[in-house]
Structure 1
Amino acid sequence: MKLTYRGANYEYDIPTVDMVEGEVAGKYRGQNWNYRYPRHIPHPKKYGGTNYTRKGDSQAGDRDVAAASDPAAVKSYLTGVEVAQVHRANICNILDRRKQAAQANGDERLLRLLEIESRQMVC
């Protein structure tokens, strides 16, 4: 699709979305029409050593739409405590990398500040 903004011409391509047909929703002018759902993009399995999206999640993109709408098939998300643990571990890992970089650069002031921050975070 060709568009113009303030005299600048550009072309915009609408991204295509992979859709999955659902159950029949009704009739329109004598033809059945179905619900359509976008196919889900698989999520990363792990982040920071802990499951990121769902516990025991199998290929999110391969899930059947009907199974996903079944309450028994829905898997539980991470609890707040688990998210907090992953967050703290990530912050501690970043602090360690920053301390190594400060030590390699010989920046004693930054190294002292990072040590104080590390003690406050109880890493």
Structure 2
Amino acid sequence: MQLTYRGANYEYDIPTVDMVEGEVAGKYRGQSWNYRYPRHIPVPKKYGGTNHSAKRDFQAGSRDAAAASAPYSAVEPSPTVKEVAQVHRANICSILDRRQQVAKAKGDSRLLRLLEIEWKQMAC
């Protein structure tokens, strides 16, 4: 495609992106339409339900299953609530520790007392 910017002509080739169709998102004028994702981005899983893209691959049957499931092989399982809570608690404790160090460096005894109370409540 020939383009011009401030009198300078240049040729621009639109890059092609390999797209993967996701689940059916809805209907418009009687036609189904799907989400589309670039192949390098994993298709997100739905929370609390079945993965519709895996269901679609299973229903395809005659297609090559290895090629159809290739984009989904890199998706890691989502963390459990317990794992997320542990990471969250560890982050809060590290922030609290850093705040205590800064309060000690500044010599702010009032803030140190408040942070010690918060530390006891968290039981880090």
Q: TM-score, normalised by structure 2?
A: 0.48
Looking at secondary structure, tell me which structure has more helix per residue. 2
* TM, length-normalised to structure 1: 0.48
